[in-house]
Structure formats: structure tokens, C-alpha cells
Structure 1
């Protein structure tokens, strides 16, 4: 038996550069997650994505 729609959340996790695009193309009831995030607030950490950046993109999920 498949749980009702009220119980299941669908969340996809594309690479960071595609987060805004995927978010704009998905159904509004689907979630989008980042694949990782940096533990510190901002800064010059080449290649790292801060939680602050994800919040600015309205991405509420992250896989750590």
C-alpha cells in the first residue's frame, strides 16, 4: 500500500548550480534539497555553499 499524499514528501537534490532551475520547473508540492553545505557562515571557501546561500535561494533541505 502506498501512503496517502499527506504522508509522502518528494524531494530532489540536483547539483548546486541547478537548484534554482530545478525549483522553478518542479511541481510546487515537490521539495528541492542541496547536496551539501558549508558549516560556517559565508566567507571565501572556494567551492563551498553556505547555509546562508541556500536560505537566499529558498532551499529548505540539505543532505549532509
Structure 2
């Protein structure tokens, strides 16, 4: 599954650490999501979408 988390995060000018803190997860989790090594749980995916003001479908793309 591809995602736009890295691009959205960089556009906001925040670090992986800051995003993780906002979402209640570790920097390593954010890194794994961005790299496509970890598919986030539904609550985390929804949290990411809400943080960026997007829908889950706008951020996460099934290959």
C-alpha cells in the first residue's frame, strides 16, 4: 500500500517525532508507515487523515 504521509508531513514542516507525538505513536511507527513497511491500524489511519484534514482514501492508496 502506498501513502502520501511523508509528503504531507514535509509540506507541514514537521518531523516524524512531532507527528508521532500528535498521534500518540513513536517516530519509528511514522517512519515505518512512510516507508510502506507498516500498514497502520484503522484508528491510526483515521488519525493521520484527520491530522492532515484529508480522507483516508486521499492519503492511502492500494497498489
- TM-score (normalised: structure 2): 0.30
Which structure dedicates a bigger proportion of its chain to strand?
A: 1
- TM-score (normalised: structure 1): 0.29
Structure number with larger C-alpha Rg: 1
Which structure dedicates a bigger proportion of its chain to helix?
A: 2
Q: Which structure has more RCO (C-alpha within 8 Å, separation ≥ 6)?
A: 2
